[in-house]
Amino acid sequence: MFQINAHVLPSIDSSQFGKAQGAYAVIFIDYKDIDGAYALAKFYIEDDGWVIDEIQDEYLLFTSPEDVSEEYLPYYKEALETGYSLLFNCYEKDDLKD
């Protein structure tokens, strides 16, 4: 199981368009090789109505649920059942102010 992180922007087709400035996406992909996992992550992000601004080269590899932090465990379990899980931590323009 891979965890891939990305910075994404809402497309005009996104349910978050006009609401969120962007999001930090966490994608769990249950796939055997990293190249395929990246291709699937990109597909699922775009299919959900987001434009990829940056996708991190670094990724996490989990071999058991004990490796996953408690806050991400539900997403890990969902990916085991469905093959993938998406989490978008959205932020608004006002969130960027100091």
Q: Kindly list the distances between the CA atom of residue 97 and the CA atoms of 24, 34, 88, 94, in Å, as whole numbers in the listed order.
A: 17, 36, 20, 6
Strand partners, 84: 29
Question: Residue 16: its pLDDT value, please?
Answer: 85
Neighbouring residues of 16: CB distance < 8 A, sequence distance ≥ 6? 10, 23, 49, 50, 88, 90
Domain ranges in the chain are 2-96
The model scores a pTM over 0.95: no
* Number of separate helices (H) and strands (E) present in the chain: 2, 4
Looking at residue 94, its pLDDT comes to 66
Q: pLDDT tens-digit profile of 29-74?
A: 999 999 999 999 999 999 999 999 999 999 999 989 999 999 999 9
